[in-house]
Structure 1
Amino acid sequence: MPIQALLSAFLAALAVGGFGLAFVYPLLSGERQAEKRQAALSASAGKQPEKQTDAAVRRKQIADSLKEIERRNTRKRVSLETKISRAGLRISKSVFFIYSAISGLVLALLFYVLTGKLYLAAAAGLVGAIGLPTWVINYLAKKRLKKFVNLFPDTIDVIVRGVKAGLPLGDCLRIIASEVEEPVRGEFRAIVEAATMGLSISEAVERLTNQIPIAETNFFSIVINIQQKAGGNLSEALSNLSGVLRDRKMMEGKIKAFSSEAKASAMIIGSLPFAVAGLVYVTSPAYISLLWTTSTGQLVLGAAALWMAIGIFVMKKMVNFDY
C-alpha cells in the first residue's frame, strides 16, 4: 500500500475520532442534560415571588453574597505566576522559562544522540520545553492541594474552638498562620497579611479560593462572607462545614474503593499493547522492528499511538468520578 493511501486513511481516522470526541462524548457524559436541568432550575427560581419579610431580606443578602463569590471565582485564565504559586514553588516566571529551555535542550540532545534524527529531536525538545514543565507544575499543585484538603477540616476545628472560647476570628486566623503545618500555614499567613494591609476578613478569605481552587475553600469563603454580611453563629456554621468536609472525604474514600476494580481493568487494558509488543520483540525482534525501521511502519506506529492515547483518555474519563 503506498504512503499516500496510508496517510489518507490516517487522516480520515483522525477526523472520525475528532468528530466523536466533539459531538458524541457530550451526549454520553450527560453534560447537555445537566445544562438543561440547571437552566430549568434557574427559570423556576426566577418565577418565585419576592417577599418583603425579614427572612426574605436575609435570604436575598445570602443569595447576593453567593452570586458575588461565584462571579469572582469565574475569573479569566489562570496566569503562570498563579500556577507556580499553587505548586508551592518560589521562583519567578523568567526562572521557570530558563528551566523549561534547559529541559527542552537536554531532551532534544538526548534524542538526537540516541536516534540521530533531527525531527525526533525537535519533537522531544518541544515536549521537554513545554509539556514536561507543565506536567511538573500540575503534579506539584495536585500534591499540594491533596495535603491541604487533608489538613483543612482540622484547621476549621481550630477556628471553631477559638470562637467558642471568645477569640476574634482574626486571632484564630493568626494562630493557624503560625501553628498549623504547610501548606495551610502559608495560605492563612497570606490571609492575615492581606487583612493587615486593610482588606476585610471576608475579602482576604476570598483570595484563598483563587490560590486553592477547590470546593472546600469555596465553602469556607461562602460561610465567612455570609457571616460577615448577614451575621449568625460563626462557630456553629463552621462546625457544620467541618462535618461536611469530613463527610466529603469519607465519600471520596468510598468512591475510590468502588472504582478501584474499574481503574485496575483500565490499567491492564492500557498496558496490554505495550506488554505484547515487548514480548514479541523478545521472541521475534526482526518481525516487530519493521514498525520503526520502515516509513510505513512508522506511520502505522504513529496512528496506533494516537488512537491508544485517545483510548487511554476515554478510559480515564470513565473511571474518574466527580464528588
Structure 2
Amino acid sequence: MDRTILLGIGALLTITLVTGLVALSKSGQARRLRERVVTAGTPDVRAVPTTGLPSIRLQTNESRPLLERILRFLRFNPDTPQEQLIPWWATLLIGAFAGLIVGYYLGFLVGRPLGAGAGVAIGIFVVRGLFSWQHNRYVMAIFQQIPDAIGLMVRAIRAGLPIGEAMRSVAAETSNPLRDEFARMLGDVAIGRPVDQALMRLYKRTELPEFSFLAVTLGLQTQTGGNLAETLENLADIVRKRVALAKRAKALAAEARMQAGILMVLPYIAALAMSQIQPFYIDNFFRNPTGQKLALIGLGFSVFGYLVIRWMIKRAGSD
C-alpha cells in the first residue's frame, strides 16, 4: 500500500511538472506574439547579418532557455499544435500511466527507490516517444509537399506574378499541413517581417533544411537579382531528388527494421512454445523471484537492443 502511494505521488509530481512546463511555454508564446505585434514594422537588427544577407549556416551556438531545452528534449513544440494527433494532456496521462504500471511492478522485484526511478524514466520516455512520433509524421508530410509547392511558385512567377502572390497561391491551392504553415509564414510577412526571415522561422518550427535553402535563395535574389524562376526550378529539382532519396532509404531500411523486430520477439515466441510443450519450466521460472528478475532483465535488454538498432538505422538514413 505504501509503495502504491509513493508511486502515485511520484507520477502526480511528474505530471504536474510537465504540465507546468507546457503551460509556461503557452504563456511565453502568447507574450512573444504580443511583442511581435507591437514591434511590427520595426527592423530587427539582431536578425540581419552584417552583410545584409541571410546566413547559410543552419546551426548556431546561441544559448537556449532551460524551458526550451526541456521541451526540445520532449520533442514538444508549442508553436505547432496542429501536429498533435493526441492532445498534449492525453500524452502526459499515457506516459504517467505507463510509468506508474512499470514502477509498481518493478517495485516488488528491485525495491521501491529503483522501481520509482524506473517508472519516472519510462513515463518520460513514453511521453517523448509519442511527441516524437507525431512531430516526425507531421514533418514528413510537409517534406513530401515541398517540391510541388516550389513548382507551383515557379509557374506563378513565370506567369508574371510577384513572389508574394506566388506564395499566396501555395497557401491557397496546396493541402494541409503545408497550407497552414505557408499561411502562418505569410502572416509573419503581413506584419512586417521579411520573407527570408519568415521562412527561417518556418525552418526552425519544422527543422526541414529545404525551407532554409528557400530562404537563402530568396535573400540572395533580393540582394543580387537574377532569374528567380530558373533558380527556384533548380531548387525544386534538388528537393525532389532529396524526397526520392529519402523514400528509397526508408525502403532499404525496412528489411533491417523487420529483422530487428524479429530478433526482439523471437525469444518470447520460443518461451510461449516452451510453455505449451513443457509448462512446468515456464511456471517455475515466473514463480521464482530470481526467474522474475531475469525475465525483467531480458525484457529490458531486448527493448534496449531494439531501440539501438532503430537509432542506428535512422542515423544511417539521415546521412
Calculate the TM-score normalised by the size of structure 1.
0.66
Of 143, 146, 154, which residue of structure 2 is paired with 1:152? Answer: 146
Deviation at 1:198, TM superposition (A): 0.8
Correspondence for 2:318: 322
Tell which has more relative contact order, 1 or 2 (C-alpha 8 A, sep 6+): 2
Correspondence for 2:232: 238
Deviation at 1:206, TM superposition (A): 0.8
Deviation at 1:228, TM superposition (A): 2.5
Residues 104 and 127, structure 1, Cα contact 8 Å, conserved in 2: no
Correspondence for 2:220: 226
The worse-fitting range, judged by mean Cα deviation, of 246-255 and 78-87 is 78-87
Deviation at 1:266, TM superposition (A): 2.6
Deviation at 1:99, TM superposition (A): 3.4
Mark the CA change 1:61 to 1:244 in structure 2 (over 3 Å): closer, same or farther.
farther
The worse-fitting range, judged by mean Cα deviation, of 295-304 and 281-290 is 281-290
State yes or no: 1:312 paired with 2:309.
no
Measured in 1, the distance between the counterparts of 2:207 and 2:231 equals 21
Mark the CA change 1:143 to 1:309 in structure 2 (over 3 Å): closer, same or farther.
same
Deviation at 1:75, TM superposition (A): 6.7
Correspondence for 1:207: 201
Compute the RMSD of aligned alpha carbons: 3.6
Measured in 2, the distance between the counterparts of 1:310 and 1:242 equals 40
Percent identity over the alignment is 24
Measured in 2, the distance between the counterparts of 1:201 and 1:148 equals 19
Measured in 2, the distance between the counterparts of 1:71 and 1:229 equals 23
Of 66, 70, 94, which residue of structure 1 is paired with 2:55? Answer: 66
The worse-fitting range, judged by mean Cα deviation, of 292-301 and 257-266 is 257-266
Of 79, 90, 106, which residue of structure 2 is paired with 1:99? Answer: 90
Correspondence for 2:12: none
Q: How many positions carry a matched residue from both structures?
A: 258
Mark the CA change 1:296 to 1:158 in structure 2 (over 3 Å): closer, same or farther.
same
Q: Deviations over 1:221-274 (max 9, x none)?
A: 222222223333221111111111111122223333444433333332222122
Gaps of 5+ in 2: 1-49
The worse-fitting range, judged by mean Cα deviation, of 284-293 and 184-193 is 284-293
Residues 191 and 208, structure 1, Cα contact 8 Å, conserved in 2: yes
Measured in 1, the distance between the counterparts of 2:257 and 2:91 equals 32
Of 245, 254, 258, which residue of structure 1 is paired with 2:248? Answer: 254
Aligned AA for 1:282?
Answer: Q
Measured in 2, the distance between the counterparts of 1:264 and 1:177 equals 38
Correspondence for 1:19: none
Gaps of 5+ in 1: 1-59
Structure exhibiting the larger radius of gyration computed from Cα positions: 1
Deviation at 1:300, TM superposition (A): 1.6
